[in-house]
Each structure stands twice: as C-alpha cells, then as structure tokens.
Amino acid sequence: MSGGAPSPVYEPPAGELGRSQLGAFLRFCEGRLGRALGDEAALYRFSVDEGARFWGLFAAWAGLRLSGEREPVIGGEGVERAAFFPRARLSYVDHLVRPPGGVEAPAGATAVIGLDEAGAREELTRGELARRVGLVAAALARRGVGPGDRVLGLCRNTPRTLVAYLATLSLGATWSAAAPDMGAELVLARAGQVAPKLLFADARYPYHGATRDNRERLAALAAKLPSLERVVALDDAPLAIAGVEAEPFERLLGEGAGEAEGAPAEFDFNHPLLVLFSSGTTGVPKCIVHGAGGTLLEHLKELRLHCDLGPRDRLLFHTTAGWMMYNWLVSALATGATVVLYDGSVTFPEADSLFSLVARERVTVFGTSAAYLGYCRDEGLEPGAAHDLSALRLVCSTGSVLADPLYDWAAEKVARVPLHSISGGTDIVGCFVMGSPGRPVYRGESPSIGLGLDVRAARREGSRLLLERCPAEGSVRGELVCAAPFPSRPLGLYGDEGGKRFHEAYFSQHEGVWTHGDAVELTSRGTARILGRSDGVLNVRGVRIGPGEIYRVLEAFPEVRAAAAVEQKAPGELGGSRLVLLVVMAERGSLTRPLTLKIKKELSTRASPAHVPELIVEVSDLPRTHNGKLSERAARDAVNGLEAANRDALKNAEVLGEIMAHPAIAAAREGGEG
C-alpha cells in the first residue's frame, strides 16, 4: 500500500509533548536508561522492543503500590501465557480511592458527579466516596461476599452503582454487568455462565422521558439463576423476588457506621477483577476474565500518558454501566481526575443535551461514539456555537469506525481540540490504538498505537505469515494482532478449564500472537486506521452483535431454513451502516410482511432492539464452503458489492450474484432507502 502525505485536521501547539505527563515519563525513562530517546516514536519502539523494561519503568513512574516482589515484571512465555508481576500483590480499589504516584487528590476534592436525563445531580468528594465504599464493602462482607464470588450488576450509571462496584471489587469478588435494557435471554446467556451470588439492580430506570419498570424482568431472571442468594435494590422502588433475599442499598450503607476505616485488602496482582461479556460469531457469549493489576496498569497508561488525564480534569465518557468503557472511565479516579457519570438518553430532553452537560459541568475530556457524532452532524447541531465548550481540551470517540468527514465536522462545529478515535474493546478492556499529546490528528486515523502494545498488521504472502509494524513508508494492511505480552490480556474465559476456548478465540488464527478480530491499516506516520471487523462479529452503530444471538432467536421460526446476518455499509443510514438479514425460507417466496415484522419483534424482545435488522430479504441460498459451513464473510462481501475474498472456497459461489443484485440491498449501497 502507498499513500500520499495527508494534511492533519489538528496540529498540537509547539511544546505540547514536553508539557504533558507523557513528556515527563519520557524524561523519566531517559534518566533510568541513561540514554536519549528523544521523541514519542522512539519511546514507542523502546516500549515494544524491551517490553518488560518499559512496563517496569511505567509501574515505577506511576507509583503503583505493589507488595511482594516487583520482579519479574513479565513471567512466563509468549503472549498467551505471560503474566505481569506474578509475585506482586495490590488493591485495585485502593489505587482509585488514593491515586498513586504523588497525584494530588485530597479528601475534599470532587471524585464523582452523577447526572441523569431528568436533571438530577449528585456530587461525592473523594473522602465521601471512600467512606461509602468502605461501608458497603463491610456490609457485603458480613453477607458472605468475598474473594472468588461473582457479583452481577444490572444498574443505571449512577454514583450508587459506582459505590457498589468499588465495594465489590475491594473484597476480591469479581464484577459482571449488563445494561438494564438488555433482553432477559441475553442476560441469562451471559450471567448464567458465571453463576453470580449477588445481584445489584435498579428496579426502575428513566429513558427518554419515560420510566421503565424492570421488576418483572428481574424476577424472571432471578428465577433462572439458582446461584443467586441476594438482590440489592439500588433505587428506592420496592423489589420482591421469590426465593431470593432482597434488600435496599440504603440498608447496606447505613448499618456499618464506624467500620469504614482502613485501606482495602490486597490480592494477587493477577486476581480476577472483572468478567466481561462479549458476543462471538458462534456459540454462547464469551465470559472474559480480566485481572486487577493488568487492568489498572493498562488503564493508567492510557489515561495518564495517552489522554494526559490528571487532577485538573473532568472526564465524561458516555457509556452505560454495562459496557467496558464504564470500567475504563472509573479507572480514571486513579489519575486524580473527577469522573462525570451520565445516565439516560443522550438526546433528551433536547437533541444536544449531552453537549449542554459537557458545557455546564466544565468537562475537559469528553468521550463519545462515532454514532453519536454522526447523529449530531446529521441533525445539523452546532454544539460549539450553542454551548460554552471552552473547558474542553480532548474528544475521544469509540464504538465503531469514525468516518473521515466527521473529523472536519467536529473541528468546525464542536471545538478546535484533538479528536482521538480510540479502539480496542471488551476483549482487552482497553485500547490498542488511541491518541497522544503532541501528535497531529489525521482524518480517519487514530494518532498513535498504545505504548507497550506490539500491534502489527498480519497478512499472508503465499504460505508465509507477515506480521508488520508501522512501515517506514506508505502503509500496510492486515488483521490487527499483538505480538508481545500486554497487561490487559484476559486471564482467560470463565469456566474454560484448560483454556481451549480462549486459545481458539484469540490465538488459533495466527499461532503465538493475539488476533483481535479487526482489520487495520498501519501507516508510516505511526497512525492506525481501523477498517472494520475481520471476523463475522457485527458492529452496527457501535453495538457489537454476535450473529449467533440472532440465529438462536430464529430457531423459533420453522419457516426460516437458514439465515446470515451481515453488516452493510450504507452511506444513507445513521452511523453509515445497517444490519441485513438474509434468509432462506423453507418454502420459497413465503417471507411475507407480517412474518418479517414478527421476526423483528421477536428479535427486539428476546435479544435487544440493536439486534433488529434494518432489512430482511429472502434469497434462494446462502454462500457455503465445500464442507457446508455458512460463510458470513462471503455474504457480507456480496451485500457490500465486493468480490468475495474466499470465492474459491465456496461450493455455491453463484448465489453471490443474486445477493449482490437484490434491489433492496443494491439501493442502500447507492445511498437509497433499500
């Protein structure tokens, strides 16, 4: 691949790197190494060529409070088995409550601001947050919650949820979560695997001006979770669930006065902290286990070095409490920053409500999604003109690929600040590519690769596998892989004894390296452009959907013989893509409109509204490989008007022409309704 020299959409002022925490860390490394590195590119090369040394220096600079031994920094061999700081212990929560590394975060400083769409506002100081976390942790401990227990949250994104979350983690129990609006079946497919002992839940939640009552769904869910011993209701709505003890959060908070003294206990550096759920292409959802120390180390690096986050910052990242960006956002407490939580619809009561909160709360770093920015542009919003965004210094976008024109729109209509497209995900509870202070921003590109992450583009040349870093000239394209150990690699998958499923998910495609499932272009500028998913997982407007979840719902329809769910690039759609479901009917020509609507309704209620395809079309057959396996990749290529990359591997390639030419599918490619 080759490319010209694009002009940046944002260029930092001179000296920006030197003034940043990244600059301070660069100087720290140079001092310890006794040699000049000079710039960020050299620091990156050092970080991947001498990974253990880099991570050891970062842990020292960041002031990680480790007991036990600080060596080895990386134990074990290879990306799949390596363990960071295998002989050390720490408390994740203690680092959030008392930021490490001399960061100024007095007890009276604001730790968290909770906002919701109805206008409620709650502020907790660092001292008050620590006190509440201690009280709830003590109450949970009395109820038998301890190391190894799994706790589930179906919660709003509020300060109460934050207290419950940190109290759980402080005891060495693991936290799993799902958004309150996720269908009961989907929650069960996830939570059922980890067998939670305790559930924190909001019985009601507001969304777009209406209050949704979750009690019936919670009761149905609890009935199918035999491991569940207790439910704690975070809001004030009475919650009664047969066979399970239910009590209000206030009781936990109120019963242990005077017991909140002392720092949280330490656990092994690699003790399980989170079990996050992720949709795969087939089979049940993955329950990804993330370790405490690795999560903290990676988040501190991303937040302090790449986002330059510190005590003067206010970070609002728009997320539910069920997405991995929530875990990322909360880790920002360890930088001394104030975390701003928002619960509710981003477009209520006004279309630009989220930006008015950014202005009102003097948010300095705002995190959002490509879908939201696209919505603002399409609505003709001009947040920079309508609101005082003078405090804002950085915007991050994630969830899906940020299209080139949105960079110009944001620069013109939001603020002349860097816009960092950051990408990684639930699998690594962090980012492979993001931005850095001192780096220019180019349209469509993430300004930098994460320090310490040996990100490469994997491609085959004949039988040879090439793993290429950013090239000296032009760019290279391939599958995004990571070729060296990294701290937020999951510990494994829950219940996956022996690690077979873990290996198959991330290490079977290219032996010895982590394969992430994204296609990437790495450039000579040290930037990365995410090109979309390289596997069958769907990403529609930032929501990741496993096709298997759709197929499971379709099993209830005997009329449908086979189906393939694929993402179609659609310039005329919000977010630039849409979900298309190709179906082969048991009886040709029997996909009626009532049946189409019935399928959509079933997907909406049994899975989630995000699982509903914009378009369902009947086709005579689906592309299959010679051993009969459905090729979603070939179907996706056809829907997008592309020649199938694996055409030779198909036994019925002729069906691709029919799919490609289907009028409703072809119309969307040209920007029509379809």
Partner 1 sequence: MNRRARGGAGPPARGWAHGVRGGRAIGAGPADEKAIMSYADLRQRVIDWLDDNYHFGDAATLIKDDEASFLDNGVLDSLGFAKMRLFLEKTYAIKVDTSKDLRKHFDSLGKIVRYVLTHKDYKGPRS
| Nearest CB to partner 1, comparing residues 302 and 567 | 567
- For residue 43, give the nearest of 19, 73, 23, 64 by alpha carbon: 23
Task: Check: CB of residue 518 under 8 Å from CB of residue 533.
Answer: yes
Name which of 343 and 573 has its Cβ closer to partner 1. 573
> Is residue 119 near partner 1 by the rule CB under 8 A?
no
Question: If binding means CB under 8 A, how many residues of this protein chain bind partner 1?
Answer: 25
Q: Degrees (nearest 5) of the Cα angle 608, 323, 228?
A: 75
Of 220 and 574, the one with the shorter C-beta distance to partner 1 is: 574
CB 575 to partner 1: min, Å = 10
Tell me if 391 contacts partner 1 by CB under 8 A: no
3-class secondary structure per residue, 13-53:
CCCHHHHCHHHHHHHHHHHHHCCCCCCHHHHHHHHHHCHHH
Question: Strands (DSSP E) along 272-379, which ranges?
Answer: 272-278, 286-291, 314-317, 338-343, 365-369
According to DSSP, the residues that pair with 458 across neighbouring strands are 467, 479
Phi then psi for residue 433, to 5 deg, are -125, 140
DSSP letters, 540-585, are: ETTEEE-HHHHHHHHTT-TTEEEEEEEEEE-TTSGGGEEEEEEEEE
**Residue from 518, 520, 514, 505 nearest 487 by CA:** 514
Minimum distance between the CB of residue 347 and partner 1, rounded to whole angstroms? 3
671 contacts partner 1 (rule: CB under 8 A): yes
- Considering only residues 331 to 350 of the shown chain, the ones binding partner 1 according to CB under 8 A are 345, 347-348
Does position 375 interact with partner 1 (CB under 8 A)? The reply is yes
Check binding of 209 to partner 1 (CB under 8 A): yes
Q: Which positions from 347 to 366 touch partner 1 by CB under 8 A, shown as an x/- string? A: xx--x---------------
* 210 lies in the binding site for partner 1 (CB under 8 A): yes
Nearer CB in complex with partner 1: 353/640 = 353
How many helices and strands (H and E) does the chain possess?
A: 23, 35
State yes or no: residue 281 binds partner 1 (CB under 8 A): no
Length of the chain: 674
Q: Judged by CB, which is closer to partner 1: 402, or 451? A: 402
How many CB atoms neighbour CB 283 within 10 A? 12
Among 445, 496, 573, 632, binds partner 1 (CB under 8 A): 573
Shortest distance, position 662 Cβ to partner 1, whole Å: 17
User: How far is residue 547 CA from its own chain's centroid?
Assistant: 18
Stretch that binds partner 1, among 189-197, 329-337, 413-421, 570-578 (CB under 8 A): 570-578
Beta partners for residue 198, in sequence order: 151, 230
Binding letters toward partner 1, positions 149-188, x by CB under 8 A: ----------------------------------------
Cβ proximity to partner 1: between 353 and 515 the closer is: 353
Residue among 522 and 580 whose Cβ is closer to partner 1: 580
Residue 116 in contact with partner 1, rule: CB under 8 A: no
Q: Does 514 bind partner 1 (CB under 8 A)?
A: no
Give the nearer residue to partner 1 in terms of CB position, either 16 or 618: 618
Output the smallest distance, CB 115 to partner 1, in A.
Answer: 18
Using CB under 8 A as the binding rule, the residues of this chain from 591 to 610 that contact partner 1 are: 594, 597-598, 600-601, 604
| Region of 138-146, 177-185, 305-313, 377-385 interacting with partner 1 (CB under 8 A) | 377-385
SS3 357: helix
Of positions 27, 121, 208, 460, contacts partner 1 by CB under 8 A: 208
Cβ(300)–Cβ(335) below 8 Å: yes
Of 289, 284, 288, 287, give the one whose Cα is nearest residue 189.
284
274 phi/psi in degrees, rounded to 5? -130, 145
Site string for partner 1, 30-69 (x = CB under 8 A): ----------------------------------------
- Cα–Cα distance, 425 to 428 (Å, whole number): 6
- CB-nearer residue toward partner 1: 162 or 603: 603
- Report residue 199 as tokens: 């559930």
Give contact residues for partner 1 (rule: CB under 8 A).
208-210, 345, 347-348, 351, 375, 378-380, 572-574, 594, 597-598, 600-601, 604, 612, 614, 671-673
